[in-house]
Chains A and B, each alone.
Chain A
């Protein structure tokens, strides 16, 4: 089953439920046959006049045409390069350029101007849909999509994922969920985030209905579950935690059969809130970096079980079928119970778009190549893998992966000639970014506006402070611990 194309999984749903609902987005409700036809219309437009696009940028909001175009790009034999509808044009342009897109599908008036030679498509070709035939010679080793994650060098890193990678994930993951025609699955994550691919192909691989939700809608889960009659919920823990703070009632999500969380550690307290709101739901905590295709371990917390682990977060459990792990000790050798989680298997990507980013991210052990996740884990005899934290400067903000260096680099660009240091601070709202500009207060007041022109919203610091000089450690480097303490002090005093 791993030697399949990603769009083959959609055809499973199409065969199982041809006249049942496949997609609800805004006011649109499409059945499987209609969605297939719309996807073909996009594929026809992409391949008109003998074009054979390789990589296609997709820049649009959560409307029916966006989802149809996602499928249509696959039908056309190209890799999807999702771009952010709410991301500054300059960043989208950098991503599109790094990915080497040769066509751009967009419904956004705010679209950036792509490079020369990039075809821009704003509408499908409905008359061409019926006659469309997929190109010959497609293989599971072809790229299905390319996503970008925050990079420690200050620039986003491209992660190419093949059809085989994602088919291996779906082969292992779909049997975990008894979902099919009649089920309605949430789609909350932006398409620039690979967890969205789980939403799309969990629904479409089984004949269920995909329900597109904006983050604003999803922040009222009880309303969403009621109005969309959702049976499957998938979001970050932060989102449900934020919703819980403003009111989540016992039984308020009782229609749910599954509640799945991913993207960041799941606090036990948040999981308990979910179990109270959705007493009939199976609770799954899944884990995985983009490089290992969506998720590569899972822990199912059974409703009657008391937690038998000691950390304040729910374990990440055991690897999905086909994936192997090893814990790497500080001496670079496999360790018994605690170390950096390294994984390999059919879901592992082949390497970053820019091979320079591969350095230090892989390790050769036992005759195999392993991806180093950077996550420190403990192996518990009963619970499986338990996430302990990270040693580097990658952080999670509301489930988004952020490299502090990338935010610092943007600050230096927003205030030329000045240094900056960024750290996290924990508040009642969750983990937030705090930025320090080093030196005298900046001349102009619009630092924040300029920063918003460089970074997506989730990377914008919640706190921006001026510090006369950076605290240094004994090696003359910025003392990160001192910065975090200063940030905690300032955030705590409400300034």
Chain B
């Protein structure tokens, strides 16, 4: 797993972080909660992911662990067979 994530996913996650400072690098293990991603924000991020990648996140994948870090989000998309 590389240190950073793909541009499109990077932009979607960054848009969901209300307190990310300019120039923050979204490493795979960055704790997203630290930059303001709460559960309400996560629901918004899920909708954005579904729109952008044409996928549906199933009920059983709606667990906080899948949205803890950029790496976890990418792993979720890989499981959903989404190409980012």
Contact present for B43 and A246 (CB under 8 Å) = yes
Determine the chain B residues whose CB is within 8 A of the CB of A458 once the complex forms. Answer: 38
Contact present for A61 and B65 (CB under 8 Å) = yes
Residue of chain A at shortest CB distance from B35: A448
Indicate whether B54 reaches chain A with its CB closer than 8 angstroms. Answer: no
Determine the chain A residues whose CB is within 8 A of the CB of B39 once the complex forms. Answer: 215-216, 219, 242
- Asked whether A449 and B30 contact (CB < 8 A) given A227-B59, A429-B40, A462-B18, the answer is yes
A458–B42 alpha-carbon span in the complex (Å) = 13
- Asked whether A460 and B33 contact (CB < 8 A) given A214-B64, A220-B43, the answer is yes
Q: Which of A243-285 contact B (CB under 8 A)?
A: 246
Contact present for A462 and B64 (CB under 8 Å) = no
Residue of chain B at shortest CB distance from A447: B34
Greatest chain B CB density within 10 A among A62, A86, A460 is at A460
Residue of chain B at shortest CB distance from A450: B34
Contact present for B62 and A457 (CB under 8 Å) = no
Indicate whether B81 reaches chain A with its CB closer than 8 angstroms. Answer: no
Q: Can you list, as one digit per residue, whether each of B43-69 has a CB less than 8 Å from chain A (1) or not (0)?
A: 100100000000000011011110110
Contact present for A217 and B33 (CB under 8 Å) = no
Contact present for B35 and A216 (CB under 8 Å) = no
Determine the chain B residues whose CB is within 8 A of the CB of A27 once the complex forms. Answer: 60
Contact present for B43 and A216 (CB under 8 Å) = yes
A458–B59 alpha-carbon span in the complex (Å) = 23
Determine the chain A residues whose CB is within 8 A of the CB of B38 once the complex forms. Answer: 398, 457-458, 462
Determine the chain B residues whose CB is within 8 A of the CB of A219 once the complex forms. Answer: 39-40, 43
Which bucket holds chain A's interface residue count?
Answer: 20 to 34
**How many Å from the CB of A106 to the closest CB on chain B?**
14
Indicate whether A452 reaches chain B with its CB closer than 8 angstroms. Answer: yes
Residue of chain B at shortest CB distance from A239: B39
Residue of chain A at shortest CB distance from B39: A215
- Asked whether A448 and B19 contact (CB < 8 A) given A214-B63, A215-B64, the answer is yes
Q: Can you list, as one digit per residue, whether each of A218-233 has a CB less than 8 Å from chain B (1) or not (0)?
A: 0110010001000000
Indicate whether A141 reaches chain B with its CB closer than 8 angstroms. Answer: no
A227–B23 alpha-carbon span in the complex (Å) = 42
Determine the chain B residues whose CB is within 8 A of the CB of A216 once the complex forms. Answer: 39, 42-43, 46, 62-64, 67
Contact present for B64 and A464 (CB under 8 Å) = no
Indicate whether A131 reaches chain B with its CB closer than 8 angstroms. Answer: no
Determine the chain B residues whose CB is within 8 A of the CB of A214 once the complex forms. Answer: 62-64
A333–B34 alpha-carbon span in the complex (Å) = 45
Indicate whether B24 reaches chain A with its CB closer than 8 angstroms. Answer: yes
A19–B63 alpha-carbon span in the complex (Å) = 29
- Asked whether A460 and B34 contact (CB < 8 A) given A214-B63, A217-B62, the answer is yes
Q: Which of A429-458 contact B (CB under 8 A)?
A: 429, 445, 448-449, 451-453, 457-458
Indicate whether A26 reaches chain B with its CB closer than 8 angstroms. Answer: yes
Residue of chain B at shortest CB distance from A216: B62
Contact present for B63 and A451 (CB under 8 Å) = no
Indicate whether A412 reaches chain B with its CB closer than 8 angstroms. Answer: no
A453–B33 alpha-carbon span in the complex (Å) = 10
- Asked whether A462 and B34 contact (CB < 8 A) given A214-B64, A217-B59, A445-B24, the answer is no
Contact present for A463 and B31 (CB under 8 Å) = no
Residue of chain A at shortest CB distance from B62: A216
- Asked whether A448 and B34 contact (CB < 8 A) given A242-B40, A464-B19, the answer is yes
Contact present for A462 and B60 (CB under 8 Å) = no
For the complex with contacts A27-B60, A61-B63, A464-B19, 10 further pairs of A-B residues with Cβ separation under 8 Å are A26-B60, A215-B64, A216-B42, A216-B62, A216-B67, A445-B21, A449-B31, A458-B38, A460-B33, A462-B18
Instruction: Enumerate chain B interface residues (CB-CB to A < 8 A).
Output: 18-19, 21, 23-24, 30-31, 33-36, 38-40, 42-43, 46, 59-60, 62-65, 67-68
Instruction: Enumerate chain A interface residues (CB-CB to B < 8 A).
Output: 26-27, 61-62, 85-86, 214-217, 219-220, 223, 227, 242, 246, 398, 429, 445, 448-449, 451-453, 457-458, 460, 462-464
Could you pull out 25 A-B pairs where Cβ atoms are within 8 angstroms?
A: A26-B60, A62-B63, A86-B64, A214-B63, A214-B64, A215-B39, A216-B39, A216-B42, A216-B46, A216-B67, A219-B43, A220-B43, A242-B39, A429-B40, A448-B19, A448-B34, A448-B35, A449-B30, A449-B31, A452-B33, A453-B31, A457-B33, A458-B38, A460-B34, A462-B18
The 6 lowest CB-CB distance pairs between A and B, nearest first, are A452-B34, A457-B33, A448-B34, A452-B31, A216-B62, A215-B39
